[in-house]
Structure 1
Amino acid sequence: YAYTPVFLDHKLHIYDIIVLSYSTYGQELLKNTMYRLYRDREQAIEKNVQQEFDLFSTTEEDIYVKDRRSGISEFEFHYADEHIIKMFCEAFKGQMLTKEDFRERLRRHPYLPTNVLNMVKKVWKYEIVKREENGKTIVYYKFSERGLYE
């Protein structure tokens, strides 16, 4: 999660924002954006100028789209479910992993949320396979090569 105080009025209004994010990158994006807003606010106060700030600057979003030639904004890239599902498909298609290995890979993945299966279960084919090994039941996730439901 990311936390930041937001000063909307120099004297009276302070709001705390706590955000639960899908990814570590999303957390960094929020922290950096909120730091930029705070810094800009302090500079505006020094100049004695009243100013409204956007959380995501449309100018920066446009620059991001043009630089990446992706046709998708930075916000959509990191927060849109469709993009997260595409990243999941690329990372796991055609694999069979134990539940523990799957969770570890999700934990280390810079973008995918740990609850990604809840997001993709309606569009991605996967099986939960249980096998007995050394007297223990081991749970596997088996992801199809193609993945998407037709």
Structure 2
Amino acid sequence: MRRKLALIALALVVFLALNFAIYQKEQIKKHGQTVYLELAPVDPRSLMQGDFMRLSYTLERDALQLPLRPSDPRGYLVIRPDETNVARVVRFDDGTALAKGELRLKYSRNPRGIKLVPDSFFFQEGEAEKYETAKYGVFKFDDSGTPLLVGLVEDL
């Protein structure tokens, strides 16, 4: 009997945790700051591999032009949206406080360069044509700076 109660309690905790995570993401979608990340050309064959598109961002290339590159394989890139809310790279995060309007994006480094996450966008089956010509990833940032990719658009 104790074992059953423990399993039920565990299932309830998992259920509540998952629902809370969903609630948090919905709040970001509703109330978050909208920022656009310009997409770099990607291999269109990714559309044929399933109902997702592999993403690459121009910020990844722009970050490689920055004068100082940290040696850590993971970290944060500091960005600032311009007047049209398109993000521009400012610097690698060095732990200093963010200036007004600046945001952080998590990156990882690999032998080919900088990679921002998420690096793929999933969509419903049959909607590939809707996203083939996308030029921007639409992100929502909450007050603490947590980003959430909510869509892809062709024009602002």
Taking structure 2 as the reference length, what is the TM-score of the superposition?
Answer: 0.24
Query: Looking at CA atoms only, which structure, 1 or 2, has the larger radius of gyration?
Result: 1
Q: Higher strand fraction: Structure 1 or Structure 2? A: 2
Taking structure 1 as the reference length, what is the TM-score of the superposition?
Answer: 0.25
Q: Higher helix fraction: Structure 1 or Structure 2? A: 1
Q: Which has the higher contact order (CA 8 A, sep 6+)?
A: 2
